[in-house]
Chains A and B, each alone.
Chain A
Amino acid sequence: MSSETTTTIPEAAAVPPPGPAPVNNKRVPQGHRRLLTRRDRITLGFMAGVPTVLHVALVWVTALASIALAFTSWDGIGFGSIKWVGLDNFKQLFNDNPQFWPAVEHNVIWFVVLILIPTPFGLFLAVQLDKKIRFSRVYQTAFFLPVVVSLAVTGFVWQLVYNPDTGLINSLIGANKPGHYIDWIGDPHLNLWAVLIAASWRHTGYMMILYLAGLKGVDPSLREASSLDGANEWQTFKNVIFPTLRPTNTVVLVVTIIEALRAFDLVFVFNKGAQGTELLSILITNNIIGESSRIGYGSAIAVVLLVISLVVIIPYLISTFRKERSA
């Protein structure tokens, strides 16, 4: 491992990633292994082995099994009924399932909304709260509270806001009388947006905390130099602060994509992904806890989700771990 390339990226060097700063500690070189007794090596084997087996068996073996099952037809009763069907599940999914393309579209909308509205707003709040103002903690708590509360509970709380006859919104705008109902949760043209408001409510606080942490890492002398040069607040932010937030932005982008792919709890509590709020995660789940158990078909949706996730996860991890190796 001596020939490790030290490809230090300039931006990455200027600002440490949000994790703890890597320190130049060489790991125990190979020669020191001789100091380990036989028992030590067995201990180490167990220490790494048991968690790895558990993680691989429950996460990776099942992920691979999803791929395999996606090419089969199986009703789940006995292994004998597993039949190889090739690409049939995918063909059906792409061509015949009326819920699949809407679900893909909704997952995409979910991401676009989260990245365009709550993410910049969270950044804006973080910049304001980073100004060392009084009561900063109180404001932070207000914005962050939705992140602490479970998404399922969030779903219940927002139902109280959206309920057609007893909800806050309809009561305020006088749409809570029969005949005038606005059915925020039931109307297929409205419900996705209603859920997304609740999702954005939560996402803002999450992004605010990530950006606050990123802003704390910005070298104060950069700001000083910028204000000495006569830059105003916006110019300083745009030309000096924002570029140094690059590592945070990467994390924010990845977190937001993954949140959009994982979206489930809110919708499930709202209306179980009925008309207008279909999501890939909901389609898969309905295949298991719904009445029809079409395992191959459900797995095919899971494979679609897996492929999309890996497109994001792999490049992100490669860049993260490259930085670590070079550190």
Chain B
Amino acid sequence: MSTPTVALGAKQRTPLRPARILLHVFLIGTSLAWLAPLLWAVFAALRPYSETSTKGYVSWPDKLNFDNFKNAFEQSDMLHYFGNTLLIAVPAVLVTLLVSSMVAFYVSRFDFRLNIFLLLVFTAGNLLPQQVIITPLYRMYLLIDLPGITMSGKLYDSALGLVLIHVAFQSGFCAFVLSNYMRMLPHELTEAALVDGASVWRMYWQIVLPLCKPAMAALGTLLSIWIYNDFFWAIVLISTGENMPITSALNNLSGQYFTDPNLVAAGALLTAIPTLIVYFVLQRQFVSGLTLGANKG
């Protein structure tokens, strides 16, 4: 195949040689195979149930329309569940970024001996499988009464409960990444500020944090998608169908209301749309976030 020296050298593109064409053929084929399950879901969702039930699923479509999407959206009150997700994901992402940047600032800018240990505690916690901690967490959530603060009167079955566990769990990963990032910032910046008598908070808020924008953007994108996609915490810590975020609600609904696969396909695709939008708009941030802290499971 092509010599890597040419490909990596100047900006010139390698001329299309047989090996290159073969590579493209392979990649196009594999890409299509990779997208096949998603495309199949789109195809199924676009067809009315009456048609597929008589003609079978692998058949030429008579008509394609968005009725299934419309029905899934309305029948299952999806807007409501998207709202629930927003109520959980927005505060969870913002608070996670805030608290993990504070920890990272502390650990990377001040030497209090504790900091490697502290960072280890955070990072290791984030690597644990969630199921390791769920049983006591579930009991704890049931014990904590919050009358008047949450709908359920408890931490259990509330958006607040999910926000808290997302923040606690994800801040491990973010603190690790951000502390690495902050360590790269020139130390003179904060030293000068310190000598000039700036408060620690000002150093954090006005000097360090603005410089961390690229890392924060990357982490924010990543967190949004992870927290949006969360299924496990919501399945265990939310019991009322009404309070569920969209991913776990879909699981509930597909058993209760959806009787035809085309409608399930439409519902699943609708659920995936927000993450796809975030991904296509913020692709660069997402990928750089993923590789910034590749220790994430």
List residues of A whose CB falls within 8 A of some B CB.
1, 18-23, 25-30, 32-33, 35-37, 39-41, 43-44, 47-48, 50-52, 54-63, 65-66, 69, 76, 125, 128-129, 131-135, 138-139, 141-146, 148-153, 156-161, 163, 166-168, 171-172, 176, 198, 201, 204-205, 209-210, 213, 220, 223-224, 227, 233, 236, 248, 251, 254-255, 258-259, 261-262, 264-265, 268-269, 280-281, 284-285, 287-289, 295, 298-299, 302, 305-306, 309, 313-314, 316-317, 320-321, 324-325
Contacts and interface: CB of A to CB of B under 8 A. Distances in A.
Interface of B is mostly: helix
Nearest to B268: A156
30 contacts: A18-B291, A20-B181, A21-B184, A25-B185, A35-B195, A37-B199, A44-B106, A55-B122, A57-B168, A59-B125, A66-B135, A131-B4, A153-B272, A156-B250, A156-B264, A157-B265, A158-B37, A160-B44, A171-B57, A172-B58, A176-B56, A210-B290, A227-B5, A248-B294, A254-B295, A255-B294, A288-B135, A302-B132, A313-B124, A314-B124
Contacts of B195: 35
Interface residues of B, number: 122
A132 B7 contact: yes
Contacts of A151: 229, 231
B135 A302 contact: yes
Nearest to A264: B232
B127 A258 contact: yes
A20 B225 contact: no
A50 B100 CA distance: 10
B26 to A, nearest CB: 8
Contacts of B14: 132
Contacts of A167: 57
A132 B8 CA distance: 7
Nearest to B110: A28
A51 B171 contact: yes
Given A320-B295, A321-B120, A152 B169 contact: no
B93 interface: no
B127 A284 contact: no
Interface stretch (B60-68, B74-82, B137-145, B146-154): B137-145
A141 B279 CA distance: 10
B3 interface: yes
